[in-house]
């Protein structure tokens, strides 16, 4: 077998033209090294371990050399120890049992007379120490922290950091030694000591109180660094030891947070650093950045905060994208604390929206939205709308939501609010969230004095562009509701407004939307409903016949929902007496809160108001999934067919606006009727027979139906829970129910969720059944018969006779 020296091995590997050739060389050399290890060849051990470490660096297995590294460490030669410790750090980790054999060697070398051998031992312990090794060698490291040799003190401080991370209980052993490190004149020791104390303060609140007393000492060190003249040993591009300055600033930030006395002591030096540090190079910028972070974190003076924000503003003009990104990120954190100083740099922030770097644009956009208030909403919204026009698609949904929310919150008047949202719909209508569109419709309905202006603006916008879905949906809805107002026109100083609109023009627009390339099922549903509503707004019989012909055309549509709507609308023409009343204007929709993505999602009322969700009733876990519900929902769709609220659909359709058209939607839960609820415990009128819905484990549930005296379409069901078990209490009862989607369900809270043996509890259910269909209940029953026994069952009940429902 060939035997290579380290240099020869490197040359041989580099000369390989393929990976297979390289593997062959490595395998042959590894076999040679193994043979040498077995022969206990002491003379070749050093060279073999060196080659093995190179092989390890290339990613090939080298674990068979671990014991040889331990033998090198036991050698008296420094070169052998150095290579042995390097091998241990590379080939071993804290979880391997072989590591326990190193403890004695480390302890001996820590007491060695050669400071470099002591440094090797400390470096190795600091890299691979296990909790057991940390406990065994803690006393040795603590003793070395007090060494007269600065090199050893520096290494010991870094090693102590590893020890307290592995065994936090040993922190108090180092308090006194750590204090002495701050008095050291050597910059290396001071740097490592500051780092060590920072770690102590992060982990231990007691250390925080202890080292707050050292703030004046740290301030003196910082002052000497700032005012020191040129020192070739510590100078970095004209700045004295920037690494130490950064470490001291970080420690001051920790010590000053939440402590007014400590903060007061460091205010002056922070101001001095902020004003005297040169920002022409990155070294100065790093110190200024840490200074700003410290100023904003501690209880600093207002003037000092303004100075810090001005430094960040100066960073924004820097050509280096990294510095600008850091500035924008820090300003985003700062604006919530003190927005006024940040407002002064508004123009520079808006300029960042045009930056070529997408991460800069993203941070600038977040900051721009945070700066919006009553005084600047017009200016900032104008700039944001200009950016929306050219923004990447990934920005558009978030931007449309935030612009509309800002307009809703800070709008100076309703007309400006409507114009702003309309502009958003024109620029990015395909990216507008459904709740934003719903709120816009609500704004239009409530702003009656601007209905004529709004409907004309939307009509003019649709004449120009029907490619933006949300714009089309809003325009079609508003024209359907206020088509008669559109025909009247108005005197508005707007170029976009069409002065004269005829009934035929409106129908032409609707037909063009239906025939256009952007129409989908939801759009067609909106248009059909709008056309139907226009039959009650228009008077021209010819136009009404055109509308009826369009509806007739869709009565054979392959889309079931569209076909159903068209057929139902055509049938309405046969009952002229009620058609105008059915097609009256819709009331304002409910206010939507879905724009807050962090709000609780379990708003569906299902008996237990704290934990009930339709998703639970379906036997699915709702953890980690958004359940799309409405604040006013207290009815459940039939989960036999489609569990609507379980998982939100990803389609781009506006479910909430669909409800305004009475278009059935399989992705949302319908709202309950606002009929008076029955007080829990009230006796039902006309009581009928009692029916058993569940009888297991000594727990029985009976249903007592009765017709509601005030409404013949409402069925009251008194649910009675019977604990017939002997000596076993029913605890934490949860009862949930769901009905068919043609029915509506309302549940009162139970009289008790804990039922003693032989006792009962009650709960009232009201089912609105206008179509007089069979009442089928899907029930979920959850209860405990003992602390360790939880029963969770789902059952169905459809045993009510026809005379009941």
By the 10 Å C-beta count (0-12 exposed, 13-18 middle, 19+ buried), 786 is classed as exposed
Residues of the chain with pLDDT > 70, as a percent, come to 85
CA distance 266 to 255: 10
Question: pLDDT-derived band of residue 497, with 50, 70 and 90 as boundaries?
Answer: low
Q: What is the pLDDT of residues 320-354, one digit of tens each?
A: 899 999 999 999 888 887 788 888 898 999 999 88
Q: What six digits make up the tokens of 755?
A: 């039922």
Packing angle, helices 560-572 and 521-534, rounded to 10: 10
Cα distances from 304 to residues 5, 222, 249, 275, 335, in angstroms, run 63, 17, 15, 11, 15
| Nearest in space to 617 (alpha carbons), one of 625, 633, 605 | 605
The region of weakest confidence among 167-181, 645-659, 678-692 is 645-659
SS3 state of residue 211: helix
Region for 732 from its dihedrals, namely left if φ exceeds 0, alpha if ψ lies in -120 to 50, beta otherwise: left
Q: 138-192, pLDDT tens digit by residue?
A: 999 999 999 999 999 999 999 999 999 999 999 888 988 888 899 888 999 999 9
Show the tokens assigned to 668.
């949302």
Write down the CATH superfamily of domain 691-797: Gamma-adaptin ear (GAE) domain (2.60.40.1230)
Collapsing DSSP to helix, strand or coil, 39 comes out as coil
96 versus 21: which is more confidently predicted? 21
List CB contacts of 734: < 8 A, sequence separation 6 or more: 607, 608, 611, 612, 753, 780, 781, 782, 783
pLDDT of residue 568: 93
Q: What integer pLDDT is reported at residue 790 of this predicted model?
A: 86
Does 684 have pLDDT greater than 80? no
Domain boundaries along the sequence of the chain: 447-574, 594-680, 691-797
The mean predicted confidence, pLDDT, of the chain is: 83
Looking at residue 3, its pLDDT comes to 58
E strand or H helix at 780: strand 777-786
Question: What average pLDDT does range 375-395 have in this prediction?
Answer: 91
> What average pLDDT score do residues 706-723 get?
85
User: What is the arithmetic mean of pLDDT over 23-51?
Assistant: 90
What is the per-residue pLDDT across 774-786, written as a single tens digit (0 to 9) for each?
Answer: 888 999 999 888 8
Taking only the tens place, the pLDDT of each residue in 510-533 is: 999 999 999 999 999 999 999 999
In angstroms, the CA 441 to CA 762 distance is 42
Neighbouring C-alpha atoms within 13 Å toward the C-beta of 183:
7
- The pLDDT value recorded for residue 289 is 93
Say if residue 650's pLDDT is above 80: no
* DSSP sequence for 352-373: GGG-S-HHHHHHHHHHHHHH--
| pLDDT reported for residue 628 | 35
Pairing assessment for the beta strands 760-768 and 744-747 based on DSSP bridges: antiparallel
Helix 78-91 vs helix 66-73: crossing angle, to nearest 10:
150
For 41-100, how does the pLDDT look when each residue is reduced to its tens digit (9 = 90+)? 788 899 999 999 999 999 999 989 889 999 999 999 999 999 999 999 999 888 888 888
SS3 state at 601: coil
Residue 611 has pLDDT above 70, yes or no: no
Look at the alpha carbons of 317, 318, 320, 324 in this order and tell me if their dihedral is positive or negative.
Answer: negative
């Amino acid at each position: 077998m060939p035997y290579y020296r380290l240099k020869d091995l490197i040359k041989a590997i580099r000369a390989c033209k393929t990976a297979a050739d390289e593997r062959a060389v490595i395998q042959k050399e590894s076999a040679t090294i193994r043979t040498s290890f077995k022969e206990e060849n002491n003379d070749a051990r050093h060279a073999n371990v060196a080659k093995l470490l190179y092989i390890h660096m290339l990613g090939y297995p080298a674990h068979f050399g671990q014991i040889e590294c331990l033998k090198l460490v036991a050698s008296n030669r420094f070169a052998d120890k150095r290579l042995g410790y390097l091998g241990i750090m590379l080939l071993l980790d804290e979880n391997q049992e072989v590591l326990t054999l190193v403890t004695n060697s480390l302890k001996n070398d820590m007491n060695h007379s050669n400071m470099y051998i002591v440094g090797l031992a400390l470096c190795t312990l600091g890299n691979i120490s296990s909790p057991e090794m940390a406990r065994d060698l803690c006393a040795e490291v603590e003793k070395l922290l007090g060494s007269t040799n600065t090199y050893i003190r520096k290494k010991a401080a870094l090693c102590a950091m590893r020890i307290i991370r592995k065994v936090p209980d040993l922190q108090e052993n180092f308090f006194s030694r750590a204090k002495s490190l701050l008095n050291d004149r050597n910059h290396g020791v001071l740097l490592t000591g500051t780092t060590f104390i920072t770690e102590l303060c992060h982990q231990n609140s007691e250390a925080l109180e202890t080292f707050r007393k050292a703030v004046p000492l740290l301030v003196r060190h910082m002052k000497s660094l700032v005012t020191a003249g040129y020192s070739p040993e510590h100078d970095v591009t004209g700045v004295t030891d920037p690494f130490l300055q950064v470490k001291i600033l970080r420690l001051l930030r920790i010590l000053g947070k939440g402590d007014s006395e400590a903060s007061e002591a460091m205010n002056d030096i922070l101001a001095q650093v902020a004003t005297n540090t040169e920002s022409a190079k990155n070294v100065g910028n790093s110190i200024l950045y840490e200074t700003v972070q410290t100023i904003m974190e501690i209880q600093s003076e207002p003037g000092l905060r303004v100075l810090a924000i001005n430094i960040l503003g100066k960073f924004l003009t820097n050509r280096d994208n990294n510095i600008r990104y850091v500035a924008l990120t820090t300003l985003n954190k700062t604006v919530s604390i003190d927005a006024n100083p940040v407002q002064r740099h508004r123009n520079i922030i808006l300029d960042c929206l045009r930056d070529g770097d997408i991460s800069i644009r993203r941070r600038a956009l977040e900051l721009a939205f945070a700066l919006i208030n009553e005084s600047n909403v017009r200016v900032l919204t104008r700039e944001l709308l200009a950016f929306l026009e050219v923004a990447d698609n990934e920005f558009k949904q978030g931007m449309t939501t935030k612009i509309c929310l800002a307009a809703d919150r800070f709008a100076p008047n309703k007309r400006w609010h409507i114009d702003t949202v309309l502009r958003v719909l024109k620029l990015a209508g395909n990216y507008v969230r459904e709740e934003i569109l719903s709120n816009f419709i609500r704004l239009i309905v409530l702003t009656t004095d601007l209905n004529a202006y709004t409907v004309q603006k939307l009509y003019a916008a649709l004449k120009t562009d029907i490619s933006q879905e949300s714009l089309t949906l809003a325009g079609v809805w508003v024209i359907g509701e206020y088509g008669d107002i559109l025909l009247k026109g108005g005197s508005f100083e707007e170029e976009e407004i069409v002065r004269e609109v005829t009934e035929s023009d409106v129908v032409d627009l609707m037909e063009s939307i239906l025939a256009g390339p952007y129409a989908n099922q939801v759009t067609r549903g909106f248009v059909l409903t709008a056309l139907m509503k226009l039959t009650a707004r228009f008077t021209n019989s010819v136009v009404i016949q055109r509308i009826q012909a369009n509806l007739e055309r869709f009565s054979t549509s392959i889309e079931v929902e569209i076909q159903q709507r068209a057929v139902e609308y055509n049938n309405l023409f046969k009952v002229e007496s009620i058609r105008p009343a059915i097609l009256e204007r819709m009331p304002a929709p409910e206010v939507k809160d879905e724009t807050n993505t962090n709000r609780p999602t379990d708003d569906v009322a299902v008996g237990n108001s704290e934990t009930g969700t339709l998703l639970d009733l379906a036997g699915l876990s709702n953890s980690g999934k958004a359940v799309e519900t409405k604040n006013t929902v207290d009815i459940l769709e039939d989960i036999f067919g489609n569990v609507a609220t379980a998982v939100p659909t990803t389609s781009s359709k506006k479910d909430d606006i669909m409800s305004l058209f009475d278009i059935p939607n399989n992705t949302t839960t319908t709202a309950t009727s606002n009929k008076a609820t029955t007080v829990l415990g009230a006796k039902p009128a006309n009581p009928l027979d009692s029916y058993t819905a569940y009888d297991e484990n000594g727990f029985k549930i009976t249903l007592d139906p009765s017709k509601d005296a005030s409404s013949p379409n409402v069925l009251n069901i008194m649910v009675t829970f019977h604990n017939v078990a002997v000596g076993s209490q029913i605890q934490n009862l949860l009862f949930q129910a769901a009905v068919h989607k043609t029915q509506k369900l309302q549940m009162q809270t139970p009289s008790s969720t804990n039922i003693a043996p032989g006792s009962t509890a009650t709960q009232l259910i009201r089912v609105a059944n206008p179509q007089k269909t069979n009442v089928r209940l899907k029930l979920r029953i959850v209860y405990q018969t003992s602390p360790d026994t939880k029963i969770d069952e789902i059952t169905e009940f459809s045993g009510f006779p026809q005379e009941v429902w």
